[in-house]
Amino acid sequence: MSIKGKTEIQFNEDVFVIQNLANSTVKIPKSRILQESRGEFDVEFEFDEKPFIEISVEPGENSDPSKLKFTYTAEFASSTKVNIEIKWETPTYVSANQPEDVLVVTLWGPFYDKQDGLEVEIEERTIRQFIPP
């Protein structure tokens, strides 16, 4: 993350670009075993809805979480790169104490290859970065 609150996320392969990234949601499948009968399982699938991109801050040990509020913009710069810009309500406070605060970015998959439509990654990807003072 740069001192101006900008960071980028790189993918190893081209993925489908989502136009309204900050407001997009995905359904994450989960399963539950309902019943076992003669060695067979009846499984019902349920889904959790999550934002495609989820951004949070883990305060450093000496930080006040109420002073770490922010808004952000996120957009695909290309089919392999997402740009994120953080705007802090109190920028001079962020990472002013040691240990530094940590930016946590979670991308909820699945991700699909742009060329053949096959899944590239099936789980969420979480990226953690120390925020420079």
Domain range summary for the chain, segments of one domain joined by +: 6-25+51-130
Joined tokens for residue 5: 């609150």
CB 57 within 8 A of CB 131: yes
**Residue 37 pLDDT > 80:** no
Give 105: exposed, middle or buried? Use CB within 10 Å, 0-12, 13-18, 19+: buried
Return the top range by mean pLDDT from 6-10, 19-23, 95-99, 121-125. 95-99
CA separation for the pair 52, 21 (Å, rounded): 7
Strand, coil or helix: 85:
strand
**Residue 12 parent element (H or E):** none
Q: What is the pLDDT of residues 40-56, one digit of tens each?
A: 777 777 777 888 888 89
CB 108 within 8 A of CB 52: yes
Supply the pTM of this predicted model: 0.68
> Alpha-carbon dihedral of residues 84, 90, 92, 97, nearest 10 degrees?
-90
- Predicted confidence band at 69 (pLDDT cuts at 50, 70, 90)? very high
Whole-angstrom Cα Rg for the chain: 19
CATH class entry, domain 6-25+51-130? mainly beta
**Residue 15 pLDDT > 80:** no
**Residue 10 pLDDT > 80:** no
Instruction: Return phi, psi of residue 79, to 5°.
Output: -80, 0
Region of 126 please: left (phi>0), alpha (psi -120 to 50) or beta. Answer: beta
